Amino acid sequence: MTAPPRSLQKHRMATPSDPCPWSGLLSPAERERGLLAPYAMHSADSAGRRYPEPEHPYRGSYQRDRDRILHSAAYRRLSGKTQVFTGEMGDYHRTRLTHTLEVASLARTIGRALRLNEDLIEALALLHDIGHPPFGHAGEDALNACLAAEGGFSHNRHALTLVEEIEHRHESFPGLNLTAEVLAGQASRAGLDPLGPGPLLETQVVDAADSITYDAHDTDDAVKLGLVRIEELLALPLIDRCFQTVRQRAGDLSGERLRKAIVHELIDVQVGNVLEASGEFLARCNWSDTSAPRQSAFRIGPDPALTAEKRQLEEFLYAHVYRHERLVAVRGHAQEKLRQLWATLVDNPCLMPADFQQRAQQHGLPRSAAEYVAGMTDRYCQQCYQEWVAG
């Protein structure tokens, strides 16, 4: 049997400082005790970090994790990465970074209302898409095909590799040395859960917020880009419901104002539904720690009726937006460039920075080249293609 990935190994306990050694300040543990529900993940109960570090006097473990992610190169590069629509299509639509910030904002709203740990939620949200290659899911599919014989490529797994191995913040260990809970949350997105059978409620909130966010902003971007018309979307019960609410509130709107009002309503109706469905359950459950929710089949999310309506919207977006001929063409070109760039790097590893050449010794050249390409922004990827492949 092979050894489990490093994210799955046992983490050492950390000792949170309590009370705060600086007079007049509350320690994170004290503040959380006053604010969070018993079923929330309290930073004082963290399983700690792989490489033990002293506690910070006024920032809790998850605040530190958030800051480490925020200051990482991979996070900054999200500003130059495609969410769904590429830079050639305009500058209104979301990038991978603005998508991430919208997820973090909604997830914190939901988490605060449910008295969960907002710091952990924010860290998980900022991390959740950090492993995305350039050109969105098209880029991921291309790299996955390149690595078909090597176990494939997944952006969720790559996020873990980034924060555990590739990023460096300290001279004495690789990675960002994040807490076990943040690594576990991301591992559960990647289909792994190192700490037990189910994800923490904070992880569930980020998953719910991700879904709310992309359903709303892909609708908004698709209409703004002219890929679909509002009138077509009104055939969907969820969008029609939002339209009726807008009409009752604001009368007959049209054009940009109608699109914005419907998208606003689309976020509001989803967040309200998740809070109603989850808040009532959590208030009744009498859970006194994090173990019960992790054993339970309960998941924070929309109720069954809204889940079905969201699925209809997603099917519509898949058929009419993600498969739109304009996007299919852009996606095809991007995938071909990624494939050729990867093949060029495999043939000429000296084009890669020294640390990726070094990773090739341990992880093989195909994977190391894919990891290097995955870290690129759309623009840098185009530039490297021009220089190394087309030039």
Residues that bind Mg ion (CB under 5 A): 129, 210
Q: What's the min distance (Å) between Cβ of 301 and Mg ion?
A: 15
Q: What's the min distance (Å) between Cβ of 207 and Mg ion?
A: 9
CA distance 229 to 15: 56
Specify the 3-state DSSP secondary structure of 170: strand
CA distance 288 to 236: 41
List 175's β-bridge partners, or say none.
Answer: 168
List 82's β-bridge partners, or say none.
Answer: 95
CA distance readout (Å), 2 to 5, 112, 113: 9, 40, 42
What would the DSSP string read from start to end of 324-338? -HHHHHHHHHHHHHH
CA distance 268 to 135: 29
Q: What's the min distance (Å) between Cβ of 230 and Mg ion?
A: 24
Q: What's the min distance (Å) between Cβ of 125 and Mg ion?
A: 9
CA distance 232 to 226: 12
Q: What's the min distance (Å) between Cβ of 129 and Mg ion?
A: 4
Other Cβ atoms closer than 10 A to 207: 20
Specify the 3-state DSSP secondary structure of 175: strand
Whichever of 32 and 129 has its CB closer to Mg ion, that residue is 129
Q: What's the min distance (Å) between Cβ of 380 and Mg ion?
A: 21
Whichever of 129 and 193 has its CB closer to Mg ion, that residue is 129
CA distance 90 to 103: 22
Whichever of 193 and 210 has its CB closer to Mg ion, that residue is 210
Whichever of 98 and 340 has its CB closer to Mg ion, that residue is 98
Whichever of 210 and 378 has its CB closer to Mg ion, that residue is 210
Cβ pair 339, 146 in contact under 8 A = yes
Whichever of 84 and 334 has its CB closer to Mg ion, that residue is 84
Task: Provide CB contacts within 8 A for 108, sequence distance 6+.
Answer: 118, 121, 122, 125
| Token pair listed for 272 | 């309200």
List 179's β-bridge partners, or say none.
Answer: 49
Whichever of 210 and 218 has its CB closer to Mg ion, that residue is 210
Q: What's the min distance (Å) between Cβ of 128 and Mg ion?
A: 5
